[in-house]
Amino acid sequence: MLLAIDVGNTNVTIGVFDGDRLTHSWRLAALRERTADELGIFVTRLFEQTGVRVTDLLGIVIASVVPPLTRPMEEMSERYFHRTALIVDATNAGMPVRYSPVGDVGADRIVNAVAARDKYGKDGVPLIVVDFGTGTTFDIISRGGEYLGGVICPGIGISAEALFQRAARLPRVEVRKPSTVIGQNTVGAMQSGLFFGYVEMVDGLVRRIRKELEGGEQAIVIATGGLADVLSGESRAIQHVDANLTLDGLRLIWERHSR
């Protein structure tokens, strides 16, 4: 079995694979003050509750965009699971990167690209991965399987929180699809701007990316991240929603390294 951990700015996503099958997954808050012992206690308790045995683990693979949590994750792996974790970045993911400097590519972005290429790009079509995380990112993979670069935008949650924090009379609202575009109260108007505004942003950026990308008209668009399900139904551009794309990418990279 394999333990895969994606350390993001908002959440830590943990998955356990039995072969290529994701058997369990959990989300923890990405608190930067967590110690290796706190993390170890959390994860071992999750294992106990689901009947996963520590002794069954063959390896641990981690992608982290939160440096203060990377070392505690490594220490947790060694102390509680007696494994040296594979820490994934753009230099060891196994995909050519056309980004400068290479090390600036977030680990989660290159992991998503590897998974998308394996799952959707085997016919040599270009790919566009949209990740609705703390930031909304667009990652572009060429026909030949190269990571070309992408786009980084503020996440929808950040935008909603900024409205609440910076405008004295605006409330904090839940991000969801309103019944109409024309809001008839403040909450409805804010939800319309957030929801439909982000849908149009995604569709507009994908349209522009297609124009610059060789073979862009054939590009497959895959969405992942927390709000992918919510937004994809209104998007004209998104063709697939893959909630486990990052965990699958971590598994693929670990398998390649283990071979």
Q: The sheet that has 135-141: what strands, in order across it?
A: 147-154, 135-141, 127-132, 220-225, 240-241
Looking at the fold, whether 144 and 230 belong to one and the same domain comes out as yes
Looking at the fold, whether 239 and 136 belong to one and the same domain comes out as yes
Looking at the fold, whether 136 and 82 belong to one and the same domain comes out as no
In which residue are the tokens 């923890």 written? 28
Number of domains in the chain: 2
- Residue 227 pLDDT: 86
Looking at the fold, whether 135 and 83 belong to one and the same domain comes out as no
User: Which regions of the chain does DSSP assign to beta strands (E)?
Assistant: 2-7, 11-18, 21-29, 59-64, 86-87, 127-132, 135-141, 147-154, 220-225, 240-241
Nearest to 249 by CA among 106, 126, 124, 134: 106
Mean pLDDT of the region 62-73: 96
Looking at the fold, whether 231 and 128 belong to one and the same domain comes out as yes
**Whole-angstrom Cα distance, residue 110 to residue 90?**
6
Looking at the fold, whether 142 and 218 belong to one and the same domain comes out as yes
In a domain, residue 252? The reply is no
| pTM exceeds cut of 0.85 | yes
Residue 180 · residue 188 · CB < 8 Å: yes
Single residue among 31, 60, 87 that ends a domain in this structure? 87
**Whole-angstrom Cα distance, residue 1 to residue 60?**
9
Looking at the fold, whether 134 and 81 belong to one and the same domain comes out as no
235: pLDDT strictly greater than 90: yes
Instruction: Return the structure tokens found at 87.
Output: 């820490």
Mean pLDDT of the region 192-208: 96
In a domain, residue 111? The reply is no
Name the residue range of residue 40's domain. Answer: 2-87
In a domain, residue 102? The reply is no
Give DSSP secondary structure letters for 210-252. HHHSTTGGG-EEEEEETTHHHHHTT-SS--EE-TTHHHHHHHH
Mean pLDDT of the region 201-225: 97
Confidence label for 209 from pLDDT (cuts 50, 70 and 90):
very high
Looking at the fold, whether 136 and 235 belong to one and the same domain comes out as yes
The angle subtended at Cα 196 by Cα 201 and Cα 185, nearest 5°, is 140
Looking at the fold, whether 142 and 29 belong to one and the same domain comes out as no
Looking at the fold, whether 82 and 136 belong to one and the same domain comes out as no
In a domain, residue 93? The reply is no
Residue 173 · residue 194 · CB < 8 Å: yes
DSSP state of 56: G
Active site residues: 108
In a domain, residue 167? The reply is yes
113: pLDDT strictly greater than 90: yes
In a domain, residue 149? The reply is yes
Least confident of 151-160, 168-177, 200-209, 245-254: 168-177
Looking at the fold, whether 231 and 129 belong to one and the same domain comes out as yes
CATH number of the domain where residue 173 is located: 3.30.420.40
